[in-house]
């Protein structure tokens, strides 16, 4: 089975599983988290498959910087540029989907 058949977020990016699109461009896709932890909870992912943020940073640092810019622009639009950016990395840190994704939490004042 190919990576894209195997990986939930590759399937979402391919449109095989529905999602609520927030933003897209040639390299990046952003969609609403199905179980939001803030008023606005968006997942920003590279279209290419990397398991986690460390692998993305090593193999395509420009895409990692681009994901930060996309997060910033979502927060600029939704909540005067304030946001929390989280990359859970590893099972023991709560990573459940092994296609790197930035959690962008915004839209309201966040607890610490």
Residue 18, both tokens: 């529905």
Characterise 28 by phi-psi region: left (phi > 0), alpha (psi -120 to 50), beta (else). Answer: beta
89 binds ligand 5GP (CB under 6 A): no
Catalytic residue ranges = 101
Site for ligand 5GP in 8-47 (CB under 6 A): 8, 17, 19, 31-35, 43
Print the binding letters for residues 10-29 with Zn ion: x by CB under 5 A, - otherwise: x-------------------
The values of phi and psi at residue 103, to 5°, are -85, 120
- The answer to whether 33 and 101 are in contact (CB under 8 A) is no
DSSP code of residue 15: T
54 binds ligand 5GP (CB under 6 A): no
The CA distance from 83 to 71, in Å, is 8
Of 84, 63, 93, the C-alpha closest to 55 is 63
Print the binding letters for residues 47-86 with Zn ion: x by CB under 5 A, - otherwise: --x-------------------------------------
94 binds ligand 5GP (CB under 6 A): yes
Task: Kindly state the smallest distance separating residue 33's Cβ from ligand 5GP, in Å.
Answer: 5
72 binds ligand 5GP (CB under 6 A): no
């Amino acid at each position: 089975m190919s990576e894209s058949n195997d990986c939930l977020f590759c399937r979402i990016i391919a449109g095989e599983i529905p999602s609520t699109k927030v933003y897209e461009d040639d390299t990046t896709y952003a969609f609403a988290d199905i179980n939001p932890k803030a008023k606005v909870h968006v997942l920003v992912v590279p279209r290419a498959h990397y398991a986690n943020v460390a692998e993305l940073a090593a193999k395509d640092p420009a895409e990692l910087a681009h994901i930060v810019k996309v997060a910033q622009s979502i927060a600029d639009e939704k909540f005067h540029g304030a946001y929390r950016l989280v990359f859970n990395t590893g099972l023991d840190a709560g990573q459940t989907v092994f296609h790197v994704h930035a959690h962008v939490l915004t839209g309201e004042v966040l607890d610490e």
